[in-house]
């Protein structure tokens, strides 16, 4: 069972290790996913912590898993291997590899992993999560085989000679869950633009409500109740506006509504 022996320095360099991050200076969302999008999504997660927290929450909600050996005699040895298999430069365990794989799948729309063998000892030396922005996928000799090409920093490419060691997965269309953020941001920016235009026109508007009871005896005696009713209707209308609901103010008696203290924008 050389598969589960202690790890030594691997004799075969993994094909995906040489992949590096890269980004173009000017970003635009084309129809197909481009390498520069990877850097954009990384910066989005760094600049907007709620995005990073949401992705990590999804990963935690997936839970864990356990691999069961068909032969109970090797179960402990299998558990030890899966718990201690090196993942990249700093990770360890098959769970760490699966979390990184799912993280890449959600963030970039696709994910790639590689089995790194030790050719001298004929065993698995570790696992590696590849940079999907540098990997190109194409059909192999038959409809069910794949061919992988890695793009280097200098623009040169090389075909991986052992595609059976590569684990690759992609969402529908290969699009990241974050790809729709520009459209959402456009909607939000338009809303903020409209708010700014309204502020430029009217400023910070404040209102004053004045109730003038008539000279009739009945109106004078019920002025307190009517004033409370006016205050309730006004508060209800203002609270509805906080949640995007438009509600008319129901006037009771002779009520004047005036705009006071309008602070015009100086911009």
Concatenating the DSSP letter of every residue in 165-213 gives GEEEEE-GGG--GGGGHHHHHHHHHHHHHHHHHHHHHH-EEEEEEEE--
Q: 127: part of which helix (H) or strand (E)?
A: strand 123-129
CA 253 – CA 232 distance, rounded (Å): 14
pLDDT band (50, 70, 90) for residue 1: very low
Q: Would you state the pLDDT for residue 171?
A: 84
Residues 6+ apart with CB under 8 A from 148: 15, 112, 135, 136, 137, 138, 159, 160, 163, 166, 168
Q: Does 223 score more than 80 pLDDT?
A: no
pLDDT value, residue 123: 85
Backbone angles phi, psi at 202, to 5 degrees: -110, -20
Q: Of 3-17, 26-40, 144-158, 243-257, give the range with the top mean pLDDT.
A: 144-158
Half-sphere exposure of residue 105: CA atoms within 13 angstroms, side-chain side = 16
**SS3 label, residue 18:** coil
- Block residue for tokens 């004799």: 11
CA 200 from chain centre, in angstroms, equals: 34
Between 211 and 108, the higher pLDDT residue: 108
The residue among 168 and 186 whose pLDDT is bigger is 168
State phi, psi for 101 to the nearest 5 degrees: -65, -45
Length of the chain measured in residues: 267
Q: Can you give the pLDDT at residue 20?
A: 41
pLDDT above 60 (res 78) = yes
Q: Please compute Rg for the chain using Cα positions.
A: 32
- Among 128-142, 178-192, 244-258, which is the least confidently predicted range? 244-258
Q: Calculate mean pLDDT across residues 4-31.
A: 49
pLDDT for the residue 247: 65
Tokens at 149, concatenated: 């090409």
Q: What pLDDT band is residue 266 in, cutting at 50, 70 and 90?
A: very low
């Amino acid at each position: 069972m050389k598969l589960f022996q202690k790890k030594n320095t691997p004799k075969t360099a993994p094909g995906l290790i040489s992949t590096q991050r890269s980004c173009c200076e000017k970003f635009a969302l084309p129809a197909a996913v481009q390498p520069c999008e990877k850097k954009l999504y990384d910066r989005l997660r760094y600049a907007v912590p709620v995005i990073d927290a949401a992705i990590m929450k999804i990963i935690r909600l997936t839970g864990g898993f356990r691999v069961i050996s068909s032969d109970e005699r090797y179960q402990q040895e299998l558990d030890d291997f899966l718990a201690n298999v090196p993942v990249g430069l700093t990770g360890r365990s098959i769970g760490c590899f699966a979390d990184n794989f799912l993280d890449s799948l959600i963030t970039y729309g696709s994910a790639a992993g590689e089995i790194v063998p030790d050719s001298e000892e004929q065993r698995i030396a570790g696992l590696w999560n590849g940079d999907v922005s540098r990997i190109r996928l194409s059909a192999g000799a038959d409809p069910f085989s794949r061919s992988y090409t890695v793009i280097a920093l200098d623009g040169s490419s090389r075909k991986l000679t052992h595609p059976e060691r590569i684990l690759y997965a992609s969402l529908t269309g290969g699009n990241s869950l974050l790809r729709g953020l520009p459209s959402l941001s456009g909607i939000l920016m338009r809303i903020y633009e409209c708010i700014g235009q309204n502020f430029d026109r009217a400023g910070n508007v404040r209102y004053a409500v004045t109730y003038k009871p008539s000279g009739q005896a009945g109106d004078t005696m019920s002025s307190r109740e009517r004033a409370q009713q006016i205050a309730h209707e006004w508060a209800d209308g203002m609270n509805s506006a906080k949640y995007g609901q438009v509600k008319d103010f129901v006037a009771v008696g002779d009520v004047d509504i005036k705009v006071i203290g309008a602070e015009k924008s100086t911009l």
